[in-house]
């Protein structure tokens, strides 16, 4: 069993530090199937608009985000969840005034 | 893409309604690998002390819980995460005064 507060996990800085990535549970813990990560995005920060063969299962912890899909945009906030299917185009943008954090779970095939 | 507030998902009542289970993303959405569920537990409510071949990756959203493992007990609260390994004995007990909610992700092999 591995237990901790997520803020104790050393973050990786992405996009010049505007996005922090914490891998809470993953292959290094011998998690056999999927990886749990948390991403806080600074206001205005965005993940790349991209696609990949693996899915995302996302749960928003705080803040307000725009989710961009191929032909639509959605607004999500605390308590929203998002299923991004394999090969579906997607992007997350913090459109609020405070950091926006979300859990993003991916299969081990997506790396960490 | 599937997007909603988790409270809009119809809950299943477990343990005489002391535990609600919401399957946010899973096989019915064609999620290929793993299932995201949310469980609120009423104060004093507990999940069974049990074990199974699949893992749990848990993130606590609110409240205070005791996690019972084979030879140890832990206290966790909002922002804690818990990795329960395959075949590891475990139980969650709400030891606070308010409902305790957590995300619990399992592989598709664990059902919903």
CB contact under 8 A, B24 and A81: yes
Q: Which chain A residues are Cβ-neighbours of B3 within 8 angstroms?
A: 67, 74, 76, 80-83
Interface test with A, best of B9, B29, B36 (most A CBs within 10 A): B36
- Where does the pLDDT of residue B19 fall: very low under 50, low under 70, confident under 90, or very high at 90 and above? very high
Distances (CA, A) of B56 to A47, B16, B64, B84, B97: 27, 23, 18, 5, 25
Query: Which pLDDT does position A34 carry in this prediction?
Result: 98
User: Least CB-CB distance to A79: which of B1, B5, B74?
Assistant: B5
pLDDT > 90? residue B112: no
User: Least CB-CB distance to A1: which of B29, B36, B88?
Assistant: B88
Query: Which pLDDT does position A24 carry in this prediction?
Result: 98
DSSP reduced 3-state for A5: strand
Average pLDDT over residues B58-78: 97
Share of chain A above pLDDT 70, in %: 100
- Backbone dihedral angles phi then psi of residue B7, each to the nearest 5 degrees: -70, -15
DSSP H/E element including A66:
strand A64-68
Average pLDDT over residues A43-60: 97
Average pLDDT over residues B23-36: 97
Q: Is A33 on the interface with B (CB under 8 A)?
A: yes
ipTM for the complex shown = 0.96
pLDDT > 90? residue A112: no
Interface test with B, best of A27, A53, A54, A57 (most B CBs within 10 A): A57
pTM above 0.90, yes or no: yes
Closest residue in A to B3 (Cα) is A82
Interface test with A, best of B9, B25, B88, B108 (most A CBs within 10 A): B25
Instruction: Return the closest-CA partner of residue A79 out of B58, B87, B112, B6.
Output: B6
What confidence tens digit (pLDDT) does each residue in A52-86 have? 999 999 999 999 999 999 999 999 999 999 999 99
Closest residue in B to A66 (Cα) is B3
Average pLDDT over residues B27-33: 96
Q: Is A103 on the interface with B (CB under 8 A)?
A: yes
Average pLDDT over residues B22-32: 97
């Amino acid at each position: 069993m591995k237990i901790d507060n997520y803020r104790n996990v050393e973050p990786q800085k992405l996009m010049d530090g505007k996005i922090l990535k914490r891998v809470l549970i993953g292959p290094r813990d011998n998690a056999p199937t999927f990886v749990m990560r948390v991403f806080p995005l600074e206001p205005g920060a965005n993940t790349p608009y991209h696609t990949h063969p693996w899915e995302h299962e996302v749960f928003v912890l705080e803040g307000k985000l725009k989710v961009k899909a191929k032909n639509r945009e959605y607004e999500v906030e605390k308590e929203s969840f998002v299923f991004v299917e394999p090969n579906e185009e997607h992007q997350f943008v913090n459109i609020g005034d405070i950091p926006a954090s979300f859990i993003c779970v991916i299969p081990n095939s997506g790396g960490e």
